[in-house]
Amino acid sequence: VPNQLASRIHGSVHIIGTGLLGASLGLALREHGVTVTLEDASPTALALAVDYGAGRERHEDDSQPGVVIVATPPDVVADVIAGALERFSEAAVTDVTSVKLAPLRELQSRGLDLTRYVGSHPMAGRERGSAIMARTDLFVGRPWVICRDTDTPAWVLSRVENIALEVGGVLEEMTPEDHDEAVGLVSHLPQVVASVLAGQLATAEANHLHLAGGGLRDTTRIAESDAELWVQILSANKDRLVSRLRALEHDVARFAEALEADGSRRAIADLLTAGNRGVHRIPGKHGSDERFVKLTVIIDDRPGQLAHLLSELGDLNVNMEDLRLEHSPGAKIGFAEISVLPEVSEQARHDLEQRGWRIV
Protein backbone atom coordinates (compact mmCIF):
# COMPACT_ATOMS: atom_id res chain seq x y z
CA VAL A 1 0.00 0.00 0.00
CA PRO A 2 1.66 3.25 -1.08
CA ASN A 3 1.87 6.33 1.19
CA GLN A 4 1.16 4.11 4.14
CA LEU A 5 1.85 5.26 7.68
CA ALA A 6 4.04 2.80 9.55
CA SER A 7 1.86 0.13 11.11
CA ARG A 8 2.20 -0.76 14.79
CA ILE A 9 1.68 -4.40 13.82
CA HIS A 10 4.69 -6.62 13.15
CA GLY A 11 4.10 -9.80 11.26
CA SER A 12 0.77 -11.06 10.06
CA VAL A 13 -2.52 -11.31 11.93
CA HIS A 14 -4.66 -14.42 11.79
CA ILE A 15 -8.38 -14.02 12.50
CA ILE A 16 -10.52 -17.02 13.43
CA GLY A 17 -14.21 -16.29 12.94
CA THR A 18 -15.33 -14.00 10.14
CA GLY A 19 -18.58 -12.50 11.41
CA LEU A 20 -19.10 -8.78 11.80
CA LEU A 21 -16.26 -8.30 14.30
CA GLY A 22 -13.71 -10.59 12.63
CA ALA A 23 -14.38 -9.21 9.17
CA SER A 24 -14.35 -5.60 10.37
CA LEU A 25 -11.00 -6.19 12.09
CA GLY A 26 -9.64 -7.75 8.92
CA LEU A 27 -10.78 -4.84 6.79
CA ALA A 28 -9.42 -2.26 9.21
CA LEU A 29 -6.04 -3.97 9.58
CA ARG A 30 -5.66 -4.48 5.83
CA GLU A 31 -6.36 -0.79 5.32
CA HIS A 32 -3.26 -0.22 7.43
CA GLY A 33 -1.20 -2.52 5.24
CA VAL A 34 -1.24 -5.50 7.61
CA THR A 35 -1.25 -9.02 6.17
CA VAL A 36 -4.44 -10.68 7.40
CA THR A 37 -5.32 -14.36 7.09
CA LEU A 38 -8.76 -15.69 7.87
CA GLU A 39 -10.44 -18.90 8.90
CA ASP A 40 -14.01 -19.81 9.76
CA ALA A 41 -15.81 -23.07 10.50
CA SER A 42 -18.24 -22.13 7.74
CA PRO A 43 -16.69 -22.18 4.24
CA THR A 44 -19.47 -19.84 3.06
CA ALA A 45 -18.77 -17.27 5.75
CA LEU A 46 -15.05 -17.50 5.00
CA ALA A 47 -15.52 -17.03 1.25
CA LEU A 48 -17.77 -14.05 1.89
CA ALA A 49 -15.22 -12.34 4.13
CA VAL A 50 -12.42 -13.01 1.63
CA ASP A 51 -14.53 -11.59 -1.21
CA TYR A 52 -15.32 -8.63 0.97
CA GLY A 53 -11.62 -7.85 1.30
CA ALA A 54 -11.17 -8.74 4.97
CA GLY A 55 -8.13 -10.93 4.28
CA ARG A 56 -7.13 -14.16 2.55
CA GLU A 57 -7.18 -17.83 3.47
CA ARG A 58 -4.15 -19.15 5.30
CA HIS A 59 -1.74 -21.31 3.28
CA GLU A 60 0.25 -24.19 4.70
CA ASP A 61 3.56 -22.48 3.95
CA ASP A 62 2.54 -19.12 5.49
CA SER A 63 4.86 -17.94 8.24
CA GLN A 64 3.56 -17.95 11.81
CA PRO A 65 1.27 -15.00 12.62
CA GLY A 66 2.37 -12.52 15.28
CA VAL A 67 -1.15 -12.27 16.67
CA VAL A 68 -4.16 -14.56 16.50
CA ILE A 69 -7.57 -12.99 17.10
CA VAL A 70 -10.42 -15.33 18.01
CA ALA A 71 -13.75 -13.79 16.97
CA THR A 72 -16.12 -16.70 17.34
CA PRO A 73 -19.39 -16.94 19.28
CA PRO A 74 -18.97 -17.45 23.06
CA ASP A 75 -19.91 -21.13 23.02
CA VAL A 76 -16.82 -22.23 21.13
CA VAL A 77 -14.37 -19.53 22.09
CA ALA A 78 -12.45 -21.50 24.76
CA ASP A 79 -11.94 -24.43 22.39
CA VAL A 80 -10.75 -22.17 19.61
CA ILE A 81 -8.37 -20.24 21.90
CA ALA A 82 -6.91 -23.53 23.17
CA GLY A 83 -6.46 -24.71 19.59
CA ALA A 84 -4.84 -21.43 18.54
CA LEU A 85 -2.33 -21.55 21.43
CA GLU A 86 -1.34 -25.03 20.31
CA ARG A 87 -1.24 -24.40 16.56
CA PHE A 88 0.50 -21.00 16.66
CA SER A 89 3.23 -21.50 19.19
CA GLU A 90 4.83 -18.08 18.82
CA ALA A 91 1.75 -15.89 18.54
CA ALA A 92 0.03 -13.69 21.07
CA VAL A 93 -3.57 -14.90 21.20
CA THR A 94 -6.57 -12.78 22.06
CA ASP A 95 -10.32 -13.01 21.66
CA VAL A 96 -12.99 -10.36 21.22
CA THR A 97 -15.88 -12.16 22.91
CA SER A 98 -18.49 -10.16 24.87
CA VAL A 99 -17.89 -12.19 28.03
CA LYS A 100 -14.49 -12.66 29.56
CA LEU A 101 -14.70 -14.71 32.72
CA ALA A 102 -16.41 -17.93 31.59
CA PRO A 103 -14.00 -18.63 28.69
CA LEU A 104 -11.02 -17.87 30.96
CA ARG A 105 -12.26 -20.22 33.69
CA GLU A 106 -12.78 -22.95 31.13
CA LEU A 107 -9.27 -22.51 29.74
CA GLN A 108 -7.81 -22.49 33.27
CA SER A 109 -9.69 -25.67 34.17
CA ARG A 110 -7.92 -27.43 31.31
CA GLY A 111 -4.54 -26.74 32.89
CA LEU A 112 -3.25 -24.97 29.77
CA ASP A 113 -0.34 -22.55 29.79
CA LEU A 114 -2.14 -19.27 29.14
CA THR A 115 0.92 -17.00 29.15
CA ARG A 116 0.43 -16.03 25.51
CA TYR A 117 -3.31 -15.40 25.89
CA VAL A 118 -4.87 -12.09 26.92
CA GLY A 119 -8.63 -11.60 26.57
CA SER A 120 -10.10 -8.42 25.14
CA HIS A 121 -13.44 -6.94 24.15
CA PRO A 122 -14.05 -4.06 21.76
CA MET A 123 -17.34 -2.35 22.69
CA ALA A 124 -18.56 -2.25 19.11
CA GLY A 125 -21.21 -3.97 17.13
CA ARG A 126 -24.72 -3.75 15.89
CA GLU A 127 -27.94 -5.66 16.44
CA ARG A 128 -27.20 -8.15 13.72
CA GLY A 129 -23.85 -8.89 12.27
CA SER A 130 -22.20 -10.69 9.40
CA ALA A 131 -19.23 -9.96 7.17
CA ILE A 132 -21.38 -7.99 4.75
CA MET A 133 -22.00 -5.39 7.46
CA ALA A 134 -18.31 -5.17 8.28
CA ARG A 135 -16.74 -1.74 8.29
CA THR A 136 -13.22 -0.55 8.87
CA ASP A 137 -14.29 2.08 11.38
CA LEU A 138 -16.38 -0.10 13.66
CA PHE A 139 -13.84 0.27 16.48
CA VAL A 140 -12.87 3.92 16.08
CA GLY A 141 -13.18 5.78 19.36
CA ARG A 142 -14.95 2.90 21.09
CA PRO A 143 -13.61 1.44 24.34
CA TRP A 144 -11.52 -1.70 23.81
CA VAL A 145 -11.29 -3.58 27.08
CA ILE A 146 -8.10 -5.57 27.77
CA CYS A 147 -8.11 -8.13 30.58
CA ARG A 148 -4.44 -8.67 31.35
CA ASP A 149 -3.31 -10.44 34.50
CA THR A 150 -0.09 -10.39 36.51
CA ASP A 151 1.36 -13.20 34.37
CA THR A 152 0.81 -11.45 31.05
CA PRO A 153 4.24 -10.71 29.49
CA ALA A 154 4.77 -7.22 28.08
CA TRP A 155 5.25 -8.52 24.53
CA VAL A 156 1.87 -10.27 24.54
CA LEU A 157 0.06 -7.29 26.04
CA SER A 158 1.75 -4.94 23.63
CA ARG A 159 0.88 -6.96 20.52
CA VAL A 160 -2.78 -7.12 21.48
CA GLU A 161 -2.94 -3.46 22.52
CA ASN A 162 -1.40 -2.52 19.18
CA ILE A 163 -4.22 -4.29 17.35
CA ALA A 164 -6.75 -2.22 19.33
CA LEU A 165 -4.84 1.02 18.77
CA GLU A 166 -4.29 0.35 15.08
CA VAL A 167 -8.03 0.10 14.40
CA GLY A 168 -8.78 3.20 16.46
CA GLY A 169 -9.96 1.69 19.75
CA VAL A 170 -9.55 3.37 23.14
CA LEU A 171 -7.76 1.06 25.58
CA GLU A 172 -9.53 0.33 28.86
CA GLU A 173 -7.92 -2.08 31.31
CA MET A 174 -10.27 -4.16 33.46
CA THR A 175 -10.31 -7.47 35.27
CA PRO A 176 -12.51 -10.14 33.67
CA GLU A 177 -14.81 -9.90 36.71
CA ASP A 178 -15.14 -6.14 36.39
CA HIS A 179 -15.70 -6.35 32.65
CA ASP A 180 -18.44 -8.93 32.99
CA GLU A 181 -20.15 -6.90 35.73
CA ALA A 182 -20.02 -3.82 33.52
CA VAL A 183 -21.40 -5.43 30.35
CA GLY A 184 -23.97 -7.27 32.45
CA LEU A 185 -25.29 -3.85 33.41
CA VAL A 186 -24.82 -1.70 30.28
CA SER A 187 -25.34 -4.31 27.56
CA HIS A 188 -26.86 -7.60 28.73
CA LEU A 189 -29.50 -6.18 31.07
CA PRO A 190 -30.85 -3.69 28.47
CA GLN A 191 -30.97 -6.54 25.95
CA VAL A 192 -33.13 -8.69 28.21
CA VAL A 193 -35.33 -5.73 29.16
CA ALA A 194 -35.90 -4.73 25.53
CA SER A 195 -36.62 -8.33 24.54
CA VAL A 196 -39.04 -8.93 27.40
CA LEU A 197 -40.81 -5.62 26.76
CA ALA A 198 -41.09 -6.32 23.03
CA GLY A 199 -42.30 -9.80 23.91
CA GLN A 200 -45.37 -8.24 25.52
CA LEU A 201 -46.28 -6.86 22.08
CA ALA A 202 -46.25 -10.25 20.41
CA THR A 203 -49.82 -10.99 21.45
CA ALA A 204 -51.16 -7.42 21.54
CA GLU A 205 -54.13 -6.30 19.47
CA ALA A 206 -53.01 -4.60 16.27
CA ASN A 207 -55.16 -1.51 16.87
CA HIS A 208 -53.47 -1.02 20.23
CA LEU A 209 -50.12 -0.95 18.48
CA HIS A 210 -51.38 1.82 16.19
CA LEU A 211 -50.96 4.18 19.11
CA ALA A 212 -47.23 3.42 19.41
CA GLY A 213 -44.82 6.35 19.34
CA GLY A 214 -41.11 6.99 19.48
CA GLY A 215 -40.85 5.97 23.13
CA LEU A 216 -41.87 2.39 22.45
CA ARG A 217 -39.73 2.20 19.34
CA ASP A 218 -36.57 3.36 21.10
CA THR A 219 -37.16 1.20 24.15
CA THR A 220 -37.51 -1.96 22.07
CA ARG A 221 -35.04 -1.31 19.22
CA ILE A 222 -32.38 -3.79 20.37
CA ALA A 223 -35.03 -6.50 20.73
CA GLU A 224 -34.25 -7.08 17.03
CA SER A 225 -30.94 -8.68 18.04
CA ASP A 226 -29.89 -12.12 16.87
CA ALA A 227 -31.46 -14.57 19.34
CA GLU A 228 -28.99 -17.39 18.60
CA LEU A 229 -25.95 -15.26 19.42
CA TRP A 230 -27.54 -13.66 22.47
CA VAL A 231 -28.48 -16.98 24.04
CA GLN A 232 -24.76 -17.70 24.15
CA ILE A 233 -23.74 -14.27 25.44
CA LEU A 234 -26.36 -14.16 28.18
CA SER A 235 -25.73 -17.76 29.25
CA ALA A 236 -22.01 -17.14 29.49
CA ASN A 237 -22.56 -14.16 31.80
CA LYS A 238 -25.43 -15.60 33.78
CA ASP A 239 -23.65 -15.42 37.16
CA ARG A 240 -23.56 -11.62 36.95
CA LEU A 241 -26.70 -11.09 34.89
CA VAL A 242 -29.09 -13.06 37.09
CA SER A 243 -28.57 -10.76 40.09
CA ARG A 244 -29.14 -7.73 37.84
CA LEU A 245 -32.33 -9.30 36.54
CA ARG A 246 -33.50 -10.10 40.06
CA ALA A 247 -32.89 -6.48 41.11
CA LEU A 248 -34.86 -5.26 38.10
CA GLU A 249 -37.63 -7.77 38.73
CA HIS A 250 -37.76 -6.54 42.32
CA ASP A 251 -38.09 -2.91 41.20
CA VAL A 252 -40.82 -3.77 38.69
CA ALA A 253 -42.66 -5.54 41.53
CA ARG A 254 -42.16 -2.52 43.80
CA PHE A 255 -43.62 -0.36 41.05
CA ALA A 256 -46.64 -2.62 40.69
CA GLU A 257 -47.14 -2.71 44.46
CA ALA A 258 -46.85 1.06 44.73
CA LEU A 259 -49.52 1.42 42.04
CA GLU A 260 -51.78 -1.10 43.75
CA ALA A 261 -51.47 0.62 47.13
CA ASP A 262 -53.36 3.89 47.09
CA GLY A 263 -51.52 6.75 48.68
CA SER A 264 -48.05 5.48 47.82
CA ARG A 265 -47.36 8.07 45.18
CA ARG A 266 -44.15 8.94 46.93
CA ALA A 267 -42.86 5.44 46.17
CA ILE A 268 -43.79 5.78 42.48
CA ALA A 269 -42.14 9.20 42.30
CA ASP A 270 -38.99 7.78 43.92
CA LEU A 271 -38.76 5.04 41.30
CA LEU A 272 -39.26 7.53 38.47
CA THR A 273 -36.70 10.01 39.82
CA ALA A 274 -34.19 7.20 40.31
CA GLY A 275 -34.63 6.64 36.57
CA ASN A 276 -34.05 10.36 35.92
CA ARG A 277 -30.82 10.18 37.89
CA GLY A 278 -29.67 6.99 36.22
CA VAL A 279 -30.20 8.15 32.65
CA HIS A 280 -28.19 11.31 33.30
CA ARG A 281 -25.20 9.19 34.30
CA ILE A 282 -24.88 7.63 30.84
CA PRO A 283 -21.87 9.18 29.09
CA GLY A 284 -22.44 11.11 25.87
CA LYS A 285 -20.99 10.22 22.55
CA HIS A 286 -17.44 11.28 23.31
CA GLY A 287 -17.21 8.87 26.19
CA SER A 288 -17.40 11.67 28.72
CA ASP A 289 -20.23 12.92 30.90
CA GLU A 290 -20.68 16.14 29.00
CA ARG A 291 -24.21 16.74 27.79
CA PHE A 292 -25.08 18.57 24.62
CA VAL A 293 -27.74 21.14 24.01
CA LYS A 294 -30.43 19.97 21.60
CA LEU A 295 -31.94 22.36 19.09
CA THR A 296 -35.10 21.06 17.44
CA VAL A 297 -35.52 22.62 14.01
CA ILE A 298 -38.69 22.24 11.93
CA ILE A 299 -38.05 21.00 8.41
CA ASP A 300 -40.20 19.97 5.48
CA ASP A 301 -40.26 16.28 4.68
CA ARG A 302 -38.98 16.56 1.11
CA PRO A 303 -35.62 16.11 -0.58
CA GLY A 304 -33.30 19.03 -0.10
CA GLN A 305 -34.72 20.63 3.03
CA LEU A 306 -32.51 18.90 5.55
CA ALA A 307 -29.56 19.34 3.22
CA HIS A 308 -30.32 23.04 3.10
CA LEU A 309 -30.39 23.22 6.90
CA LEU A 310 -27.15 21.33 7.27
CA SER A 311 -25.47 23.34 4.58
CA GLU A 312 -26.43 26.47 6.51
CA LEU A 313 -25.03 24.93 9.68
CA GLY A 314 -21.83 24.41 7.71
CA ASP A 315 -21.84 28.05 6.59
CA LEU A 316 -22.37 29.09 10.21
CA ASN A 317 -19.48 26.81 11.21
CA VAL A 318 -21.69 24.95 13.66
CA ASN A 319 -20.49 21.39 14.23
CA MET A 320 -23.28 19.00 15.09
CA GLU A 321 -22.40 16.50 17.79
CA ASP A 322 -25.40 14.39 16.95
CA LEU A 323 -28.48 14.55 14.82
CA ARG A 324 -31.80 12.83 15.04
CA LEU A 325 -34.53 13.24 12.48
CA GLU A 326 -37.98 12.82 13.94
CA HIS A 327 -41.02 12.39 11.79
CA SER A 328 -44.60 12.81 12.71
CA PRO A 329 -46.09 9.64 11.21
CA GLY A 330 -47.77 10.44 7.91
CA ALA A 331 -46.74 14.08 8.18
CA LYS A 332 -45.14 16.25 5.56
CA ILE A 333 -42.92 17.90 8.11
CA GLY A 334 -40.25 16.66 10.43
CA PHE A 335 -37.97 17.82 13.19
CA ALA A 336 -34.22 17.76 13.08
CA GLU A 337 -32.91 17.45 16.62
CA ILE A 338 -29.40 18.82 16.48
CA SER A 339 -27.03 18.36 19.41
CA VAL A 340 -24.40 21.06 19.75
CA LEU A 341 -21.88 22.02 22.40
CA PRO A 342 -23.46 24.17 25.13
CA GLU A 343 -21.09 27.07 24.44
CA VAL A 344 -22.22 27.46 20.83
CA SER A 345 -25.91 26.67 21.27
CA GLU A 346 -27.24 30.19 21.83
CA GLN A 347 -25.35 31.61 18.88
CA ALA A 348 -26.43 28.70 16.69
CA ARG A 349 -30.06 29.19 17.69
CA HIS A 350 -29.85 32.90 16.98
CA ASP A 351 -28.13 32.46 13.63
CA LEU A 352 -30.57 29.80 12.47
CA GLU A 353 -33.57 31.89 13.47
CA GLN A 354 -32.06 34.85 11.64
CA ARG A 355 -32.04 32.69 8.54
CA GLY A 356 -35.70 31.86 8.98
CA TRP A 357 -35.51 28.40 10.57
CA ARG A 358 -38.12 27.65 13.18
CA ILE A 359 -36.63 26.20 16.35
CA VAL A 360 -38.97 24.68 18.91
Judged by DSSP in three states, 13 sits in strand
Output the smallest distance, CB 116 to a copy of itself, in A.
26
The distance from CA 321 to its chain's CA centroid, rounded to whole angstroms, is 19
Q: What are phi and psi of 297, to 5 degrees?
A: -105, 135
Query: Which stretch, 61-69, 103-111, 155-163, 331-339, contacts a copy of itself (CB under 8 A)?
Result: 331-339
Give CA–CA dist 127/220, Å, rounded. 12
The CA R_g of the chain, rounded to the nearest whole Å, is 24
Contact indicator for 11, 158 with CB cutoff of 8 Å: no
Name which position in 3, 109, 150, 207 contacts a copy of itself (CB under 8 A).
207
Query: Which positions from 257 to 296 touch a copy of itself by CB under 8 A, shown as an x/- string?
Result: --xx----x--xx-xxxxxxxxxxxxxxxxx---------
Q: In angstroms, what is the minimal distance from the CB of 98 to a copy of itself?
A: 11
Inter-residue contact 82 to 30 (CB < 8 Å): no
- The DSSP bridge partners found for residue 94 are 69
34 touches a copy of itself by CB under 8 A: no
Q: Which is nearer to a copy of itself, 20 or 82 (CB)?
A: 20
In the complex with a copy of itself, the residue whose CB is nearer, 110 or 246, is: 246
Report the residue from 157, 320, 341, 344 that binds a copy of itself according to the rule CB under 8 A. 320
Residue 251 in contact with a copy of itself, rule: CB under 8 A: yes
Instruction: Give the shortest CB-149-to-a copy of itself separation in angstroms.
Output: 18
Q: Is 329 exposed, middle or buried (0-12, 13-18, 19+ CB in 10 A)?
A: exposed
Q: According to CB under 8 A, which one of 62, 151, 249, 346 is a site residue for a copy of itself?
A: 249
Other beta carbons less than 10 A from residue 222's beta carbon:
17
Using CB under 8 A as the binding rule, the residues of this chain from 120 to 139 that contact a copy of itself are 123-124, 133-135, 137-139
Contact call for residues 74 and 106 (beta carbons, < 8 A): no
Using the minimum distance from each CB to a copy of itself, give the nearer residue, 57 or 226. Answer: 226
Euclidean distance between CA atoms 107 and 80, whole angstroms? 10
- Candidate residues 81, 223, 295, 348; the one interacting with a copy of itself per rule CB under 8 A: 223
Which amino acid is it at 127? E
- Tell me which of 165, 196, 293, 344 binds a copy of itself, using CB under 8 A: 196
- Looking at 6, 89, 154, 217, which residue binds a copy of itself (CB under 8 A)? 217
Q: Identify which of residues 110 and 302 has a Cβ nearer to a copy of itself in the complex.
A: 302
Residues in contact with 99: Cβ distance below 8 Å, sequence separation at least 6, in sequence order: 74, 180, 183, 233, 236, 237
- Pair type for strands 143-147 and 119-122: antiparallel
Q: Which of residues 154-193 bind a copy of itself (CB under 8 A)?
A: 168, 170, 172, 174, 178, 181-183, 185-187, 189-193
Residue closer to a copy of itself, measured from CB, 10 or 265: 265
Identify the residue among 47, 76, 112, 198 touching a copy of itself (CB under 8 A).
198
Selected range binding a copy of itself among 38-46, 82-90, 104-112, 200-208, rule: CB under 8 A: 200-208
Alpha helices for the chain (secondary structure H)? 20-31, 43-52, 74-87, 101-109, 154-166, 176-183, 189-199, 206-209, 214-220, 227-236, 238-260, 265-279, 305-315, 342-354
- 298 binds a copy of itself per the rule CB under 8 A: yes
The residue within the footprint of a copy of itself, chosen from 1, 41, 171, 256 (CB under 8 A), is 256
Of 327 and 350, the one with the shorter C-beta distance to a copy of itself is 327
Residues 117, 284: Cα–Cα separation, whole Å? 33
Instruction: Check: CB of residue 116 under 8 Å from CB of residue 159.
Output: no
- The alpha carbon of 115 is separated from its chain's Cα centroid by a whole number of angstroms, namely 28
